[in-house]
Amino acid sequence: MVPTRLWSRLFVAFAFLVQPAVTAVAGETTLTVVDAKGEAHAFSIDRLLAHPDTDTSTITGDPAYGGTSRQYRVIPLTRLLAGLPVAGADVLMATALDGFVAQLPAAKALNADPAGAVAYLAIEDPAAPWPKLKGKDLSAGPYYVVWRNPQLVGIGPEAWPYQTVRLELKESVAKRYPAILVADNLPADAPARRGGALFVDNCFACHKMNGGGEATVGPDLNLPMNPTEYFQPSVLPRYLRDPSSVRHWADQKMPAVAADVLSDRDLEAIIAYLAHLAGRR
Ligand code: HEC
């Protein structure tokens, strides 16, 4: 009999060899959709391109390509999910190849009324590849969640996840990650309470908080330390507005938050939320 330890070594060696084929890598073109009952459905790029509801459409204010207007092959998210169980879900969670995980409010992402904000999945046709993103070696594909009329419901740039490969219908962020919540007894009008909601929409796609969340792009902003504990109070808002005014390095991924996305007052509320969470480890 082969000793167990040898088996486990062989297994590790084998797992290492097959890893590139099983992990999500750039060039992966299957979209996984997990319905509200937790069942996964795989959509190939060919099936999505040939879907009767897929159409060519011009998308304006495209944040992945510098706010330009671009033509895409798109399918409305409501049509993509047609026939799948969606009831009971509060959030459509979009996971990207780079560890960005957007928590899109399901009511907004699944709105079908063309007079409102409508979300689509843009599909990169391998026969007509999209341009590379600025400073990156990859495009926004294989799938990119884009919006029409996003301003009607306060949808900001972090709700346009590019390089998306997985969409999941989920319960609310509050139910899944209680560690990120503010104290129950905090007044309803406390800035930290509003800041927490702004944090989920604008920061949580990249940062875990107090151990809660799925994102792996940036650091947890409470563990082991919270930025309000080591940034000078005057520097933190400046860092959020323009990280490169505080530090320079090659792989600067933390985005500069524009004033038309979050006002100074919004940034103050987010910082109040960070400071509040420092007392809730
Ligand atoms: C697109 C991903 C992304 C988003 C969105 C994002 N961040 Fe970051 N953030 C990062 C990354 C990555 C870093 C680590 C430094 C780097 O590589 O730029 C970082 C660094 C930071 C730091 C500095 C931590 C340190 O110790 O140096 C703070 C503070 C911060 N982010 C706060 C925020 C807040 C608040 C928001 C929302 C308004 C936010 N971030 C949105 C990716 C993001």
Q: Give the domain ranges of the chain.
A: 7-172, 175-278
Nearest alpha carbon, ligand 1 atom 20: 254
pLDDT digits (tens, 9 = 90+) for 209-245: 999 999 999 999 999 999 999 999 999 999 999 999 9
CATH code of the domain occupying 175-278: 1.10.760.10
**Mean pLDDT across the stretch 109-126?**
97
Residue pair 200/93 in contact by the 8 Å Cβ criterion = no
Cα 208 to middle of ligand 1, angstroms: 10
Nearest alpha carbon, ligand 1 atom 19: 254
Choosing among 2.130.10.10, 3.40.50.720, 3.40.50.2300, 3.90.420.10, the CATH entry for 7-172 is: 3.90.420.10
Pocket test for ligand 1, best of 207, 226, 228, 245 (most atoms within 8 A of CB): 207
pLDDT digits (tens, 9 = 90+) for 23-77: 444 455 899 999 999 999 999 999 999 999 999 999 999 999 999 999 999 999 9
Nearest alpha carbon, ligand 1 atom 36: 203
CA angle 166/169/171 to nearest 5° reads 135
Determine whether 257 is exposed, middle or buried from the number of CB atoms within 10 Å of its CB (0-12, 13-18, 19+).
buried
- The per-residue pLDDT for 11 is 45
* Residue 192 CB neighbours (<10 A): 20
Poorest-pLDDT segment among 13-27, 123-137, 138-152:
13-27
**Mean pLDDT across the stretch 175-180?**
98
Determine whether 140 is exposed, middle or buried from the number of CB atoms within 10 Å of its CB (0-12, 13-18, 19+).
buried
Alpha carbon 270 to chain centroid, angstroms: 18
- pLDDT band with cut points at 50, 70 and 90 for residue 146: very high
Percent of the chain with pLDDT over 70: 90
- The per-residue pLDDT for 3 is 47
- The per-residue pLDDT for 135 is 87
Token match 């996984």: residue?
Answer: 32
Could you check whether the bond before residue 85 is cis, i.e. omega within 30 degrees of 0?
A: no
Poorest-pLDDT segment among 13-17, 68-72, 128-132, 269-273:
13-17
- The per-residue pLDDT for 28 is 58
State whether the beta carbon of 99 lies less than 6 angstroms from ligand 1.
Answer: no
Average pLDDT of the chain?
92
Cα 155 to middle of ligand 1, angstroms: 19
Q: pTM for the whole thing?
A: 0.89
Indicate whether 4 pLDDT > 90. no
Residue 197 structure tokens: 């909601």
Cα 218 to middle of ligand 1, angstroms: 6
